[in-house]
Amino acid sequence: MKHWKRKGAALLLCGLLALTAIVMPSAVTPQVQAAVVEGAYEWAYDESLGGVEIRNYRGTDSTLTIPSSFGGKPVVSIGTSAFASNTFLQTVNIPDTVTRIQGFAFRGCVQLETIRFSQNLTSIGNSAFEGSLALTSVSFPASLKSIGSSAFSGCTNLESVSFQEGLESLAGYVFQGAHLTVVTLPDSLRSMSDKSFYGSGVTQIRASTNSLGHQYATRSGIPFVSTGTLNPDSGSSGGSSSTPENPSSGSSGKEGAVKLAIPSLTMQVGATYDCVVTNPLTGDLQISVSNDCVGLVDGGKLTVELNGRSFRLYGQKAGSCTVTVKADEGSVTLPVTVEPSSQPVTPPQPSSGWTSDTTTDLTLSSGASYQFKFTASKPDQINVWMGTPNVFSVQKTAVEANAVYYKITAVGTPGAQAGIYVSYEGGAGTKLCVATIAGGSSGGSSSGSGGTTQPAATLICDTTSDFGLARGASYQFRITTSDGKKPSFWAGTSGVFDVQYVTQSGKDFFYKITAVGNPGAQAGFYAACEGQSGVKQCVVTIAYG
């Protein structure tokens, strides 16, 4: 009897285990189907997105209404570079099923004039509409939460944008190169880069008093017009890398007397961070750190520029510490955590007070010219000269609010070279780079016994507008050469961007750049056909935030 009881119990246990295996499915990886080509579209179902992502579009329609479904599944995402460089598209209607537009999705659609956004769109990725030259106005839906870095950079005819309440995040360089004048910012903004409207032409910001938009206008020196008063207790201006509140940090003295833009900071060893003091905006500050996890670049020298009154921190070693900022009105502390980094660490050098878009040696053909851009708080105090006379002429060509331009022209003999030197505010000269005049002819080449001259090769780069790129992010250039030979492509300043050759398709050559330097660093990018001198295509800046 006991034998049968034991056998019956065993059978019952096996049955329960089998039932469990049937009714309790194991964890599965979200399904991503292989891409399907259907007409002019290439799409794929992605279970993690909850629908279809459009991967590519090969059509030539000038007016396009994107389908709301494929294969019985809703279209929820416009994929990376899906419509990029489409020169036919003028009007696009995005269905309300779409919730995200990925990076570079419509980049380089130079004829695109009208965008009807999905009313359920929540995010627009980095450089999504960059270089859409025909855009003159954009109206964002109330559902939109975030706009990525350089999303509308290079849209040089863009004159107006309309934001709705609900927008929470604006990255850096979003409208760089546009011609905006007045923008109205919603109270819902929680996060803004200090470079959100950098180079956008904005002359007035309208927003509620006490809002994040108000604080941005104050720090950026942009005229502000109040549309009302936001209750600080509502929380609408909190939790931002750009907001002036830091309630979690300790303070003493008058209430709200000393404020920083962030409540706490996490950074990596080797990284730098510009810590913004939003109050007080004048007067002396004493800045100290509790241990050597972080250092103060230039001894904590204060800088007043587009990103506010700031001092720069440098992550020296892994650990935790506090940074204390004292003023006559009181003090505030900033908790800092420094995490290990797998990247090589080079301590920052004391600031020279100026930067150049070119620091590497270059070669010019006889008679050719090259223009340098120098950035400084006092650009008229920059002086440039050649170390060897009668090789290159030097001419100051333009001065802007924070920049000055110098042009050099090759006037000497082929093979001659000269160092280029720069001084600032009457200080000692610093050698920037060496310029050489190319030997021989840089024009056409001879072919055949008759010495027939062939036309010089030419190139076209798909990106010629300056833009910003987040640290760690990548961007791909397409360069087309008339002779189908691989061009040279490089950054004018070393250590800021990594440049890699990717592939060739016909006469198109693709290069990828990756931002590896510190926020605020910039470099000019140059391209040259075989045997020719380089031509600057654009300047790329590593974005803050």
Tokens for 528, please give them: 């040259």
CB 259 within 8 A of CB 244: yes
Q: In whole angstroms, give the CA distance from residue 74 to residue 257.
A: 52
- Tell whether 170 and 48 lie within a shared domain: yes
User: Which 3 state secondary structure label does DSSP give 211?
Assistant: coil
Q: Identify whether residues 170 and 115 lie together within a single domain.
A: yes
Whether the bond between 389 and the residue before it is cis, its omega within 30 degrees of 0, is no
Asked which of 151, 179, 207 is the last residue of a domain, the reply is 179
* pLDDT reported for residue 247: 37
Query: Cβ contacts of residue 455 below 8 Å, gap of 6+?
Result: 444
* pLDDT score, position 537: 85
Residues 84 and 106 in one domain: yes
The pLDDT, as a whole number, for residue 245 is 35
Those residues with Cβ within 8 angstroms of residue 181's Cβ, 6 or more apart along the chain or in another chain: 159, 160, 201, 202, 203, 204
Looking at the domain assignment, is residue 545 inside a domain? yes
Per the CB < 8 A criterion, the answer to whether 410 and 366 are in contact is: yes
CATH code at position 411 = 2.60.40.10
The rounded distance, in Å, linking the Cα atoms of 141 and 382 is 46
333 and 356 housed in the same domain? no
| Whether 97 contacts 75, CB under 8 Å | yes
Strands 459-461, 474-481: pairing is antiparallel
Judge if 87 and 152 occupy the same domain: yes
Q: Is residue 519 part of a domain?
A: yes
Task: With respect to residue 416, please indicate whether it lies within any of the assigned structural domains.
Answer: yes
Q: Are residues 163 and 271 both part of a single domain?
A: no
**Residue at a domain's end among 133, 160, 179:** 179
* Core vs surface per residue 144-181: b (16+ CB within 10 A) or e: bbbbbbbbbbbbbebeebebeeebbbbbbbbbbbbebe
Only one residue has tokens 């000038």, namely 62
User: For the chain, what is the domain count?
Assistant: 4
Q: Across 160-307, where does the E strand assignment appear?
A: 160-162, 169-170, 182-184, 191-192, 204-209, 224-229, 251-253, 259-260, 265-268, 272-279, 286-289, 294-296, 303-305
- Which pTM was predicted? 0.46
Same domain, 464 and 543: yes
Residues 6+ apart with CB under 8 A from 153: 127, 130, 131, 173, 174, 175, 176, 177, 465, 466, 467, 468
Q: Are residues 332 and 403 in the same domain?
A: no
Q: Do residues 350 and 422 touch, judged by C-beta distance below 8 A?
A: no
CATH number at residue 322: 2.60.40.1080
CATH number (domain holding residue 164): 3.80.10.10
Return d(Cα 495, Cα 254) in angstroms, integer. Answer: 44
Q: Tell me, yes or no, whether 448 lies in a domain.
A: no
Helix H or strand E encompassing 2? helix 2-23
Q: Are 452 and 473 in contact (CB under 8 A)?
A: no
Amino acid at 55: R
Spans in the chain with pLDDT lower than 50: 1-5, 16-29, 232-255, 305-308, 343-350, 440-453
* Rounded Cα distance, 4 and 6, in Å: 5
In a shared domain, residues 98 and 141: yes
Q: Read out DSSP for 322-360?
A: EEEEEETTEEEEEEEEEE--SS---PPPPP-SEEES--S
Determine contact, residues 309/303, Cβ cutoff 8 Å.
yes
Contact present, 336 and 317 (Cβ < 8 Å):
no
* Amino acid identity at 413: T
Q: Are strands 182-184 and 204-209 parallel, antiparallel or unpaired?
A: parallel
Residue 452 and residue 13: Cα distance in Å, rounded? Answer: 92
Angle at 276 between CA 274 and CA 280, to 5 degrees: 150
**Does 67 reside within a domain?**
yes
pLDDT for res 303:
60
Q: Which pair of structure tokens corresponds to residue 199? A: 């180079």
My answer on whether 476 and 376 are in the same domain is no
Tell whether 244 is covered by a domain: no
Same domain for 295 and 420?
A: no
Same domain, yes or no: 100 and 136 = yes
**Residue 406 falls within a domain, yes or no?**
yes
Residue 188 included in any domain: no
Q: Pick the closest to residue 136 from 180, 106, 171 (CA basis).
A: 180
pLDDT of 352 reads: 60
Query: Measured between alpha carbons, how far is 162 from 19 in angstroms, rounded to an integer?
Result: 58
pLDDT for 464 equals 80
Which residue is it, tokens 């995490």? 339
Structural domain span for residue 534: 456-545
